[in-house]
Structure 1
Amino acid sequence: MTEQEVLSDVNDELFSLLTETAGIQEFLDEFAVMAAHRLSGAAPVSCAVTLVRRRKAGTLAASDAVARQADEFQNRFHEGPCLEAAMTESSVYCPDTVLDARWPVYLERLDTRRVRSILGVSFALEDSGRAALNLYSARPDAFPSASIKAAEALAEAASSSLRFAVRAASADDENHNLEAALASRQTINTAVGIIMFQNKCSQADAMAILQRAASSRNMKLRLVAERVVDSATRDS
């Protein structure tokens, strides 16, 4: 697969994905499928997109189950060519997962019947973190220099679209975390109010009671608060 073939009409396809997909996750999933299709040569290629942000790595999208599992194993064991590509902002190639010794923990657990060669290509995200386009093949030596250049060219061509998508996905994740935190705080406040009413005590005393209950049961404060609220709701 040549660089020219890979990049043929790529901007038009990226624009179509951005405007026609229902949301950011669908765009990322469709991009992974598109990249896998464009970069497949004599043998099919699987593709995933990894984001490393605040020292945490996650798989944003994958073209199939093979890519997702191979990608998530790297995130779980904190090593692998794709993570290294993202962290070093370079391309990292593993020509044969059976013979390579650079990532022993990861490669020992990888299903080498389905993944024999791996290519990780970084792409710029500016302040949104670090990311990589990850390619997996069941054949060893599946990514010669021409394929590596083609993958790098695709990552560069798609970088602005991916940067937008990753920022949006990160914002969605932060909003979800914020909403969860606010919901947790509201539950705790409600439980404190119930304890104040039941025990005729101050807010500080009620919080202390809740914290002691969580500590004695070895439970998170939110879970104990939920039980207090549920119990009061049933009794009302």
Structure 2
Amino acid sequence: MSKLPAAVLAELLNIRFADASLEQLLAQYVRIAQSGVDGADEVSITLIRNNRPFTAGHSGDLALAADELQYERGYGPCVDAGVSGVELAIPDMRDEARWPDYAAAVAQEGVLSAVSLPLPVQTELLGALNLYSRKPEALGEETLAVAREVASHIAVAIGNAVSYQDSARLAEDMQAAMRSRAVIEQAKGAIMAQNRCSAEQAFEILRVASMGRNVKLRDLAKDIVERLPDTP
């Protein structure tokens, strides 16, 4: 029997796939997951293609920051859940021993508990639905039962997109998402060079600046990169 509240199920079933890009579809699922899963302050979807993880959808910059801190290290719950197919939960970041440096870093960002649920996508893509909370022990079993069903809907949507979208359009969608991350990496590199700081410190500078200016982190990163002098 479904654990989904009727309103959440109705929203999931009302998603229209026609003429929507994968990015647009995943943005709808992220919104539904954030509003429908109790305790999830922010939500993201990690996809992994050719061993390269990237965030294909996110509810806000906190979720993006939590993802990026893992990508920098090459490990963490969202990456490991996607690769292993195993659900990974962190009830309290302050007590986490499996990924201690990541947990300490993301706790400073304000994330105190998290769960990553693998997406059973039957394609070359791997992925995970990531739930982040600003409170410890915020994502209990009833919450996770709902999240698992949402994850299954997301997996079906991705599988359908891979199966039915023409290959050129799908490749364009994937490249767009990966380019967004590449722009963030370029912006971080510029900040590291200017401030002589680490990648993690550069990302924090970027995140704080995006909040202070009330612009999306990726938009700020793009602006920084566009202002860089051309290399001779």
Q: Give me the whole-angstrom Cα distance separating, in 2, the residues matched to 1:156 and 1:24.
A: 16
| Alignment-derived partner of residue 39 in structure 1 | 37
Q: Give me the whole-angstrom Cα distance separating, in 1, the residues matched to 2:136 and 2:81.
A: 19
Quick one: which amino acid aligns to residue 85 of structure 1? A
| Alignment-derived partner of residue 55 in structure 1 | 51
Change (3 A) 1:68 1:165: farther
| Alignment-derived partner of residue 79 in structure 1 | 75
Q: Give me the whole-angstrom Cα distance separating, in 2, the residues matched to 1:71 and 1:49.
A: 9
Q: Deviations over 1:108-133 (max 9, x none)?
A: 32244520001000111112321100
CA contact (8 A) 2:112 2:133 kept: yes
Change (3 A) 1:140 1:18: same
Change (3 A) 1:74 1:9: same
Deviation (angstroms), 1:27: 2.0
Task: Tell me the SS of whatever aligns to 2:95.
Answer: coil
Q: CA RMSD in A?
A: 2.8
| Alignment-derived partner of residue 29 in structure 1 | 27
Task: Tell me the SS of whatever aligns to 2:94.
Answer: coil
| Alignment-derived partner of residue 224 in structure 1 | none
Q: Give me the whole-angstrom Cα distance separating, in 2, the residues matched to 1:121 and 1:61.
A: 15
Q: By percentage of residues, which structure has more helix? A: 1
Q: Give me the whole-angstrom Cα distance separating, in 2, the residues matched to 1:166 and 1:134.
A: 21
Percent same amino acid at aligned positions?
26
| Alignment-derived partner of residue 172 in structure 1 | 172
Task: Tell me the SS of whatever aligns to 1:124.
Answer: coil
Q: Give me the whole-angstrom Cα distance separating, in 1, the residues matched to 2:134 and 2:19.
A: 30
Deviation (angstroms), 1:45: 2.1
| Alignment-derived partner of residue 64 in structure 2 | 68
User: Structure 2: 5+ residue runs without aligned partners?
Assistant: 177-231
Which one has a bigger Cα radius of gyration?
A: 1
Change (3 A) 1:107 1:174: closer
Calculate the TM-score normalised by the size of structure 2.
Answer: 0.65
CA contact (8 A) 1:98 1:112 kept: no
Q: Give me the whole-angstrom Cα distance separating, in 2, the residues matched to 1:130 and 1:19.
A: 20
Deviation (angstroms), 1:30: 2.2
Task: Tell me the SS of whatever aligns to 1:13.
Answer: helix
Calculate the TM-score normalised by the size of structure 1.
Answer: 0.64
Quick one: which amino acid aligns to residue 172 of structure 2? D
User: Structure 1: 5+ residue runs without aligned partners?
Assistant: 177-226, 228-236
| Alignment-derived partner of residue 127 in structure 2 | 131
Deviation (angstroms), 1:70: 0.5
Larger displacement relative to structure 2 (151-160 or 77-86): 151-160
Change (3 A) 1:109 1:174: closer
Deviation (angstroms), 1:162: 2.9
